[in-house]
């Protein structure tokens, strides 16, 4: 039996389970809100063109209106100034969009402190327990934030002092980008940086270092609690938008049961 035939058999019998990690995309999907004077992307919406009527008696079709970085999406290197000479979404190599998934569960810490920042020492301690992060892996940062995935107010958790969502220290962002051979980082929050990352130096360090080192980010992930700490395989499937800085993506994992 070939490896592909074995994979299909394992999927059909449930020996390998598919876990959807994607937030549903609609006009209600929570989106990032940048303060003035910065410009925001448009929210997702559908424009009905025909619906089994005189505009199209046998069919229904719609136009999609959305920004690139809406809902569960991928950030390509050219999204950030440090990666401006890098790949757009259509140029991302397919082998780097499929790889080992490792789940760093800090949901308890994030529940106690929504401004929790993952540091290198946390990742080192995780590696001591679970082994080194594999090459081409996707580091998935579990914070429990997917519980708010359809609630704009709770998802952004903003007040007069800014948005309070978990993220990464500057040193952790630099270390993941420069000292590991991962493909990228995935989070359950609206962006790969902490809500208050604009106050760090450099600002938005995950974007700064990941994009600048030809690594990727994925956001608004769901169901990380259903994944094992190690052993799953992630598949990231964005639209191949020529010149695109990002794209909504269908993201799922394969888990042996």
CB 102 within 8 A of CB 134: yes
Q: Which two tokens stand for residue 35?
A: 């303060």
Question: Choosing from 79, 122, 207, 208, which is the catalytic residue?
Answer: 79
Is 122 tagged catalytic? no
Judge whether 118 and 102 are in contact, CB under 8 Å. no
* Contact between residue 114 and residue 126 where contact means Cβ atoms under 8 Å apart: no
Helix 120-130 vs helix 170-179: crossing angle, to nearest 10: 50
CA separation, residue 148 to residues 145, 165, 246 (Å): 6, 11, 23
Give 42's DSSP letter. Answer: P
Cβ–Cβ contacts within 10 Å for residue 129, how many? Answer: 7
Strand partners, 158: 163
d(CA 161, CA 168): 18
Report the alpha-carbon distance of residue 121 to residue 24 in Å, rounded. Answer: 34
CA distances to 78, 106, 169, 236 from 34, rounded to whole Å, are 19, 26, 21, 26
Active site residues: 79
């Amino acid at each position: 039996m070939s490896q592909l035939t074995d994979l299909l058999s394992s999927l059909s019998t449930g020996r390998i389970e598919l876990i959807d990690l994607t937030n549903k995309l609609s006009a209600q999907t929570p989106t990032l809100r940048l303060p003035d004077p910065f410009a925001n992307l448009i929210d997702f919406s559908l424009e009905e063109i025909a619906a089994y009527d005189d505009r199209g008696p046998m069919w229904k079709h719609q136009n999609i209106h959305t920004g690139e970085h809406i809902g569960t999406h991928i950030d390509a290197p050219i999204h950030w100034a440090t990666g401006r000479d890098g790949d757009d979404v259509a140029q991302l190599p397919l082998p780097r969009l499929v790889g080992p998934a490792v789940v760093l569960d800090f949901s308890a810490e994030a529940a106690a402190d929504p401004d929790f920042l993952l540091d290198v020492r946390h990742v080192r301690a995780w590696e001591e327990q679970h082994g080194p992060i594999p090459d081409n892996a996707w580091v998935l940062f579990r914070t429990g934030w997917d519980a708010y995935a359809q609630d704009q107010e709770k998802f952004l958790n903003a007040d007069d002092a800014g948005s309070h969502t978990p993220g990464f220290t500057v040193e952790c962002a630099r270390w993941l980008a420069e000292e590991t051979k991962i493909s990228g980082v995935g989070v359950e929050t609206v962006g790969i940086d902490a809500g208050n990352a604009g106050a760090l130096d450099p600002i938005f360090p995950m974007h700064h270092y990941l994009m600048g080192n030809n690594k990727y980010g994925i956001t608004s992930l769901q169901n990380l609690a259903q994944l094992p700490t190690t052993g799953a395989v992630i598949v990231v499937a964005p639209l191949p938008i020529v010149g695109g800085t990002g794209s909504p993506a269908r993201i799922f994992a394969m888990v042996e049961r």
